[in-house]
Chain A
Amino acid sequence: MLTRLAYTGAALVALAFGGMESAEAQQRGGAVTVATIGEPNTLDPMISAGDLLGMITQHFYETLFTFDKNWGLTPLLAERLPEISADGKVYTIPLRQGVTFHDGQPMTAKDVVASLKRWTDLASRGKLVASNIQAIEAVDDHTVRLTLKEPFAPLTALLAFNNSAAVIMPAGHMDNPIKEVIGTGPYQLKERKADQYIQLVRYDGYKSRPGEPDGFGGARKQYLDEIRFVPVPDANTRVEGALAGQFDYADLLPVEAYDRLKGQAKTEPLMLEAFGWPMFIMNNKQGMMTKQDLRKAVQAALNAEDMLAAAFGKPEFYALNGAMYPKGHVWYTDAGTKPYNQGDAEKAAASAKKAGYDGSPIRILTSRQYEFHYKMAQVAAEYLKAAGLKVDLQVVDWATLVQRRAEPAVWDIFITHSPFLPEPALIAPLPDTYPGWWASETKNKLLTALNTEMDQKKRVAIWADLQKLIYEEVPFYKVGDFSALTAKAPGLQGFTASPWPYFWNASLKQ
């Protein structure tokens, strides 16, 4: 599904990761109840890219690397950061020693190699690199070497994600679908009752990294005895449960609930700024949106401000920003963003005429799984209508949306959102194959340059050109930046807010 990563760079560090609680001695023990947005359809983080899945499985499965509090790469199961050869093709990864799986077996290079192979076979992120991999081999019991055919800068980032994840599993447990859940993480699976709870308990054989916690990396302390993930698909019920003190943590709440959660005895709101950005993806392959002038018409017609206001309520919860990354981010550039947020009905109508618009309704596909998608769609429909464009708003459940968007004949625009990814090359609608099918030569040239260039400064410049191209060719429309709201109980200490909440290092006040 959608990956989430608020990659905000140095200036926004304090926001992406919430501040840690002041040093009050953290107590051991207790069980924490976490309300999530639903039930994951699997506990195998390789086969699906859902945020929910990653959030849960990261407690019992671990990857070689992960992200530190600045969203930089940091080692987790690897001993150190990898050695990369000068030509960028060979990665040598030293592994930590003494790490054991939940069944007591030690983790060795054999397990890592098998896991990485499974990842390249099954995971969408793994498949991105599969054709580029020359070899994955165990140099010795505690070192793994990965050889690429061509340099690929995003590789380490891909290895660090916790969904569609390159988690390390025991070599003897490579079945698909997975039969037993055995990982190396600080908590292990005790019981799963679908639609009721997923119960994790402390893994006593866990060896934490030494030192202090650092984002998802660093030390992982196990204060809590138990973590219970409870699926609560209705957002309002999550809010109400938080208010009543029923949940120690409630994930992804409607930002409107902020006022209700403030000043309460049993819960407090947590805001994660610059969480992600919604986008309207155009069908560049078939139908009326293949005409650039019509896409420009839509670009001119939309009023991003009203769309964001309707979807997120208060200005504190969103930002009008045409650049694909928020201000202060390493990848931020305002190149080409002039056509953002025009709301100009006349200009849109003129552009539509130029495109030879024949009055057929524009089919916009959206879902209520993410309420803000749906709200933006409704506002957008009104603005498009004001420009003389007809709209056919199709509201379906997410499953149907995923199915329909794969067929170019049935939609013109669909709505989705993305986190701020550490690698712009990973932005979902960029590849030719992603629904939307943006297949422009210029784009592909720029993408290849972006992926093979290893110098960061040069990469930012290439990215700026790519962003300009996005505004010229309008393969999709970025609506703005938004923040996410969650809530936690005052008794939950040592908790660091992040896009994938984790509960190691957290404790309950007894």
Chain B
Amino acid sequence: MTRYLIQRIVGMIAVMFTVVTIVFVIVRVAPGDPAAVMLGPDATPADIAALRERLGLDRPLVVQYVYFLGQLLRGDLGQSIFLNMPVLSALAERAEPTFFLTVFSIFIASAVALPVGILAAYRRGSLFDQLATTLAMLAASIPSFWLGLILIQVFAVRLGWFPVSGYGGPGAPFLVRLTHLVLPALALGIVSSALITRFTRASMLDVLNDDYVRTARSKGMGEFRVVMKHAFKNALIPVLTVIGLTMALLVSGAVVTETVFGLPGVGNLVVSAVLRRDYPVIQGALLVIAALYVLINFAIDMLYLAIDPRVRY
């Protein structure tokens, strides 16, 4: 058991290391000069060269890599070229909207998907089931930014129920911020609910046919109790897994959604960073997000292990 644990941890570290290397390679290959951007159109080539030197952009790649690793180990993600602040701080500042957007989206997605998925499984083959499955597939085909545009037009501009963009001004109370998140969470949530619905349905179907459920039924337990007590609980584990995995989908979706709705989140930061050639930020964001994903997956795996000792590789 311990040996397995150690194996997994070593594996995780190896993956992290690979992640770091991949990020470094990607960012260094990019064209476009952040020094030229910072100094503006009037800058002379001499000014640009001087700034490049100051930022360390002219040293050989290998040297930059080693330096980079050293910095990471110290927890230093570098300094944003454009924002003139540490990358870690920039990310920390932006984390809140992305976090709440993700949570809110999962909440909306699950609130729809779980009951629909369970019911569809329960009434397999019925009209409801077919409708649910088709709608789920439809929802998964809609580009979230397109849905976002439509939602803005209808609910924010025409009906005025929600704000058009942004996250609320300085010092805005949390409830106000929440109203800014409703439409983007809907846009993201609807699209991700599709995946959760189908998976819930599939899990439930598996479980509903299992022996112990049949046993419970034969014991004369009420249908509802059977479903909720036994079936659902056991179907929950894989469903939770999917929800966890949906995190990755959501972060991806958040990138586009944050841009459409002007939310100052991590996704928006990355897009701006790409357009502004702010290497350190692109690097930092990729690293942090990938690292979080690896850690979350690891945690889910450990959870699996704790709950179901039969799972072993």
Chain A positions near chain B (C-beta within 8 angstroms): 1-2, 31, 33, 39, 41-42, 47-50, 124, 164, 177, 191, 193-197, 199, 228, 230, 232-234, 237, 240-241, 243-246, 397, 399-400, 402-403, 406
Contact = CB atoms under 8 A, between A and B. Distances in A.
A464 B2 CA distance: 87
Interface stretch (B8-16, B102-110, B156-164, B210-218): B156-164
Contacts of A2: 41
B85 A197 contact: no
A246 B41 contact: no
B204 to A, nearest CB: 41
A261 to B, nearest CB: 12
A244 B275 contact: no
Given A397-B275, A399-B276, A402-B36, A246 B164 contact: yes
Contacts of B31: 400
B40 A237 contact: no
Interface in B134-175: 152, 156-157, 160, 163-167, 169-170
A2 B40 CA distance: 10
A237 B90 contact: no
Query: Most chain-A Cβ atoms within 10 A of its Cβ — which of B45, B164, B277?
Result: B164
Interface in B33-47: 33-34, 36-42, 45
Contacts of A47: 39-40
A263 to B, nearest CB: 15
A244 B160 CA distance: 6
B275 A399 contact: yes
- A-B CB proximity, top 4 nearest: A124-B42, A399-B37, A240-B164, A403-B36
Contacts of A197: 169-170
Query: Most chain-B Cβ atoms within 10 A of its Cβ — which of A41, A191, A400?
Result: A41
B244 interface: no
B209 interface: no
A47 B84 CA distance: 15
A346 B91 CA distance: 57
18 contacts: A1-B41, A2-B41, A41-B37, A41-B38, A124-B42, A164-B42, A195-B83, A196-B170, A228-B169, A230-B166, A234-B260, A240-B152, A240-B164, A240-B165, A241-B164, A397-B275, A399-B276, A400-B32
A196 B167 contact: yes
B38 A246 contact: no
B31 to A, nearest CB: 8
B78 interface: no
Given A240-B164, A399-B36, A234 B262 contact: yes
B89 to A, nearest CB: 10
B268 interface: yes
Contacts of A39: 82, 272
Contacts of A245: 160
Query: Most chain-B Cβ atoms within 10 A of its Cβ — which of A31, A49, A197?
Result: A197
B42 A241 contact: no
A194 B281 CA distance: 13
Contact of A246 (B33, B83, B163): B163
A240 B157 contact: yes
A389 B157 CA distance: 45
A317 to B, nearest CB: 22
Query: Most chain-B Cβ atoms within 10 A of its Cβ — which of A1, A191, A237?
Result: A237
A190 to B, nearest CB: 8
A248 to B, nearest CB: 11
B93 interface: yes
Contacts of A234: 259-260, 262
B264 interface: yes
Contact of B33 (A50, A194, A403): A403
A47 B34 CA distance: 16
B166 A246 contact: yes
Interface string B238-274: 0000000000000000000001101010001100100
Given A194-B90, A402-B40, 9 more contacts: A2-B41, A39-B272, A47-B39, A47-B40, A177-B84, A195-B264, A232-B166, A240-B156, A400-B31
A397 B33 CA distance: 12
Contact of B40 (A33, A49, A230, A240): A49
B180 to A, nearest CB: 10
Contacts of A400: 31-32
A243 B157 contact: yes
Contacts of B39: 47-48
A241 B264 contact: no
Given A199-B170, A240-B157, A41 B164 contact: no
A241 B169 contact: no
A191 B262 contact: no
A102 B204 CA distance: 66
A50 B90 CA distance: 24
Query: Most chain-B Cβ atoms within 10 A of its Cβ — which of A2, A47, A246?
Result: A246
B165 A402 contact: no
Given A49-B40, A194-B83, A406 B170 contact: no
A2 B42 CA distance: 10
Contacts of B90: 194
Contacts of A191: 170
A244 B163 contact: yes
B277 A399 contact: yes
Contacts of A241: 163-166
A276 to B, nearest CB: 16
Contacts of A33: 169
Interface in B81-105: 82-85, 90, 93-94
Contacts of A228: 169-170
Nearest to A242: B164
Contacts of B170: 191, 193, 196-197, 199, 228
A214 to B, nearest CB: 30
Contacts of B259: 234
Interface string B269-312: 10010011100000000000000000000000000000000000
A33 B84 CA distance: 24
A16 B190 CA distance: 48
B40 A48 contact: yes
A1 B41 CA distance: 6
A61 B39 CA distance: 20
Nearest to A198: B170
A196 B264 contact: yes
A326 to B, nearest CB: 25
Nearest to A266: B160
Contacts of B93: 193
Nearest to A191: B170
A194 B269 CA distance: 10
A131 to B, nearest CB: 14
Given A164-B42, A197-B170, A244 B156 contact: yes
Given A1-B40, A246-B164, A403-B32, A195 B272 contact: yes
Contacts of B40: 1, 47-50, 124, 402
A402 B41 contact: yes
B83 A237 contact: no
A241 B169 CA distance: 13
B37 A246 contact: no
A197 B171 CA distance: 11
B268 A195 contact: yes
Contacts of B85: 194
A230 B170 CA distance: 10
A202 B277 CA distance: 35
Nearest to B35: A403
